[in-house]
Amino acid sequence: MKTWLLSTGVIVLLILSYVGCSNSINNNVTFQNMADADVYVNFRGSVIDVASGQKTVVSNVPVGNYNYSTTYTVPAGATGSATLGNLSGTVTFKAGTKILFLYSSTLLDGNYTISLNVSSSDSVSTTNSSITLPGKNERKTNSTLTDP
């Protein structure tokens, strides 16, 4: 009887450890380029070319911290350029992380401005903000504002 209980216990532990472990990391990063020109992202020792209007997905990124940097082309007709957002930085991957790099741009009076917004499935946090209207000290919890 003791042998049977011991054998059953070992088998149950083996099954639980096998079910609890996953062979796939399931981390991915998406580079989506909505800017007017191509972008080139240096990520994990590779240059990823993302043409204007296209997206590229890198799957099975191991858990860890990775640096990235972006180089971009300026479209024809632009006389200057500027950037918004961190076109270089570090991203962190935990198990099951999905990260989106979203590039966009504007061309105004010959000046090309490229922007980058990075979002992560792990960055879920909420903040409470208050809006004070002139002459009032009350907290608003919705987005509907009225005159004082």
Q: What is the 3-state secondary structure (H, E, C) of the chain?
A: CHHHHHHHHHHHHHHHHHHHCCCCCCCEEEEEECCCCCEEEEECCEEEEECCCCEEEEECCCCEEEEEEEEECCCCCCCEEEEECCCEEEEEECCCCEEEEEEEEEEECCEEEEEEEEEECCCCCCCCCCCCCCCCCCCCCCCCCCCC
What is the percentage of the chain residues whose pLDDT exceeds 90? 61
* 12 is a domain residue: no
The pLDDT tens digits of the residues spanning 37-64 come to 999 999 999 999 999 999 999 999 999 9
* 6 is a domain residue: no
* 15 is a domain residue: no
* 97 is a domain residue: yes
Average pLDDT, the chain: 80
* 2 is a domain residue: no
Q: Residue 37 sits in a domain of what CATH number?
A: 2.60.40
Number of domains in the chain: 1
* 110 is a domain residue: yes
* 88 is a domain residue: yes
pLDDT at 147: 47
Q: How far apart are the first and last CA of the chain?
A: 80
The pLDDT tens digits of the residues spanning 58-90 come to 999 999 999 999 999 999 999 999 999 899 999
* 17 is a domain residue: no
Q: Which domain holds residue 65?
A: 25-120
pLDDT at 98: 95
